[in-house]
């Protein structure tokens, strides 16, 4: 990628990053730069290496070889510093339904070491930003699916992270709730300058939310560029679905395996 003059150094840099499981290279010798403030999308069929890559960048999984830097910190030598400067919204539910929205955020503020003197202010700021102020003291079990996802994003930004990782943030949501989540994710970038790295299977989501997209297949990046640039490489009037199929050979409706389908349905059921 080309780094802008205002942001000469990337906030995320991958250098020959590799993760093997036995003889299988789930992520294979990957080099990639992501600029500060960028909204970056990661696409690919199941098994392409997306989840493995996110787990390495969030220090959940160590690499087999290579290196990555996140906000200037090494994922191998300074994992605790990396965790301090990132936010992570997993696909599976992370909010406690037996607590109120405010209580969930208070717990996360403590986990992120938000100073006690500013904890309430940060919590209310996050709730307001996500449009959840009026629901702050309701039990999360009464929230809609879209409200739960917005609460989970609020949890992840309490400490004002440099980079926010979003793993399929709109899975299981209806189109209206999905649009609402898209809007708050876009506003995060505008208001805080947060760098976003999002995995998604929704091609419309990648097209509207991401300034650049990387398509992974068999552990490597097979296409990289803005949605407009990638569509232009495929042909006139091409869609992001056309781009996906062109570079991976996988039909989106067939790419999801049994375990992924079951997981998505479990999440969708819990989200209501």
CB 73 within 8 A of CB 81: yes
Mean pLDDT along residues 230-245: 94
CB 125 within 8 A of CB 109: no
Global pTM value: 0.83
At residue 93, the pLDDT reads: 79
Question: Domain 12-90+163-271 maps to which CATH number in 1.20.1260.10, 1.10.579.10, 1.20.1250.20, 3.40.50.300?
Answer: 3.40.50.300
State how far the Cα of 39 lies from the Cα of 62, in Å rounded to an integer: 25
Residue 126 CA to its chain's centroid (Å)? 18
State how far the Cα of 44 lies from the Cα of 50, in Å rounded to an integer: 7
* Type and span of the H or E element at 243: helix 240-248
For the stretch 50-86, pLDDT in tens is 989 999 999 999 999 999 999 999 999 999 999 999 9
Extents of the domains making up the chain? 12-90+163-271
Q: What is the dihedral of CA 232, 238, 240, 243, to 10 degrees?
A: -70
Q: What percent of the chain has pLDDT over 90?
A: 62
Q: How many of the other CB atoms lie within 10 Å of CB of 18?
A: 18
Q: Average pLDDT of the chain?
A: 87
Find the length of the chain: 272
Ordered alpha helix ranges (H), 47-202: 50-57, 79-85, 101-111, 116-129, 145-156, 175-192
CB 26 within 8 A of CB 218: no
pLDDT bucket at 193, cuts 50 / 70 / 90: confident
State how far the Cα of 49 lies from the Cα of 202, in Å rounded to an integer: 17
Instruction: Name which of 257, 254, 247, 250 is nearest 224 in CA terms.
Output: 247
More confident residue, 183 or 230: 230
Using DSSP bridges, classify how beta strands 212-217 and 12-21 pair: parallel, antiparallel or unpaired: unpaired
State how far the Cα of 32 lies from the Cα of 41, in Å rounded to an integer: 13
């Amino acid at each position: 990628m080309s780094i802008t003059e205002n942001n000469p150094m990337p906030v995320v840099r991958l250098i020959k990053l590799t993760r093997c499981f036995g003889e299988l290279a789930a992520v294979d010798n990957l080099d990639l730069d992501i600029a500060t403030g960028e909204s970056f999308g990661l696409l690919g069929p199941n098994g392409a290496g997306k989840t493995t890559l996110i787990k390495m960048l969030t220090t959940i999984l160590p690499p087999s070889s290579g290196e990555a830097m996140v906000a200037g910190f090494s994922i191998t030598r300074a994992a605790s510093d990396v965790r301090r400067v990132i936010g992570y919204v997993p696909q599976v539910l992370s909010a406690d339904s037996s607590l109120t929205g405010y209580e969930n955020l208070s717990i996360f503020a403590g986990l992120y070491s938000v100073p006690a003197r500013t904890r309430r202010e940060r919590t209310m700021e996050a709730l307001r930003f996500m449009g959840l102020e009026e629901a702050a003291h309701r039990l999360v079990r009464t929230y809609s699916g879209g409200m739960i996802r917005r609460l989970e994003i609020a949890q992840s930004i309490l400490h004002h992270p440099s980079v926010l990782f979003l793993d399929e943030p709109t899975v299981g949501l209806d189109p209206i709730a999905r649009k609402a989540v898209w809007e708050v994710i876009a506003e995060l970038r505008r208001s805080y300058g947060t760098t976003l790295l999002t995995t998604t299977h929704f091609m419309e989501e990648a097209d509207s939310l991401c300034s650049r997209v990387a398509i992974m297949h068999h552990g490597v990046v097979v296409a990289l560029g803005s949605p407009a640039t990638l569509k232009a490489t495929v042909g006139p009037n091409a869609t992001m679905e056309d781009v996906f199929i062109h570079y991976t050979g996988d039909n989106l409706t067939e790419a999801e395996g049994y375990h992924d389908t079951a997981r998505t349905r479990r999440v969708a059921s819990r989200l209501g």
